[in-house]
Amino acid sequence: MRNISEDTITQAVLAAMSGCKNDRLHTVMISLVQHLHSFAREVKLTESEWTYAINFLTEVGHITDDKRQEFILLSDTLGLSMLTTTQNNSKPPTCTETTVLGPFFVEGSPDYENGEDISNGAAGLPCFVTGHVRGLHGEAVPNATLEVWQSDEDGNYDVQYAAKQQAEVKHQGRGRLRTLADGRFHFRSILAEAYPIPHDGPVGRMLEALGRHPWRPAHLHFWINAAGYEPLITHIFRNGDKYLDSDAVFGVRSTLVADWIEHPAGVAPDGTLMDTPFYTLDYEFVLNPVGAAS
């Protein structure tokens, strides 16, 4: 491996990996090296630019912790998350489309019964959510697990608040419930609002340098699991949001846009007498059976 030049270094690196025993790792790394080297040649990458990129990625790592995942934000804003999600979740066209997980899912959400309030005191206008989970052929899917999470009216998820506030109220705007025997579910939460992804770190500086905004249209996250069906990770977006056509993470699909209907003060769907306006959302999810053709 002596006297390697800019014209021969790519083949030298590929040859150095010839002893890799993991076929998939070998395939991925060969392609990665080839594309990285081609990129460097195409843009005539300078040493200072590559040093800047290394420092940028170091900053991404430093700001990442168990409350904030800057690497997911980077992947999301470059469209890589949505590309990977789409190419790995091909389904029949009548199935509910998948979109990105996002950086704010957490394990251990509290369990709720249907009809309960998952907002747990999060700030926002009341919203009553109903829907069904069905299979590809219209069959009800009972006992499906729904993980639900969202931001509050200020655009923050519970994990974004200071440790003291989190200790006082651990989970807000998130919970886990199961569908009923007929595949139906219903719960109370708060109105989804548009919000900016965290942009006070390196990813935010990248977006600003590229002339991009950090905003996501209003949405509610769902992760649905049911025996015999493929898992579904998706959002339901609020119709009319001004960021639907410029989502910072490229996650919007027309089939996932739904109407949040405003109601004046009065009787809510669960019989509660509301002294403030409230909203309702109804949506039907369609799961793909395991092993079904896409």
**pLDDT tens-digit map of 62-80:** 999 887 899 999 999 999 9
Residue among 242, 197, 194, 243 at smallest CA distance from 219: 194
User: Cα(first)–Cα(last) distance of the chain, in Å?
Assistant: 47
Which residue ranges form the domains of the chain, and what is each CATH number? 1-45 (no CATH), 70-287 (2.60.130.10)
pTM here? 0.90
> What sign has the CA pseudo-torsion 281, 190, 95, 250?
positive
Residue 167: predicted pLDDT: 60
E strand or H helix at 283, and its extent?
strand 278-287
The amino acid that residue 189 corresponds to is S
Low-confidence ranges of the chain (pLDDT < 70): 163-169, 293-294
Residue length of the chain: 294
CB contact at 8 A, 193 and 60: no
Residue 2: predicted pLDDT: 82
Residues whose CB falls within 8 Å of the CB of residue 69, separated by 6 or more in sequence, listed in order: 103
φ/ψ bin of 173: left (φ > 0), alpha (ψ from -120 to 50), beta (otherwise): left
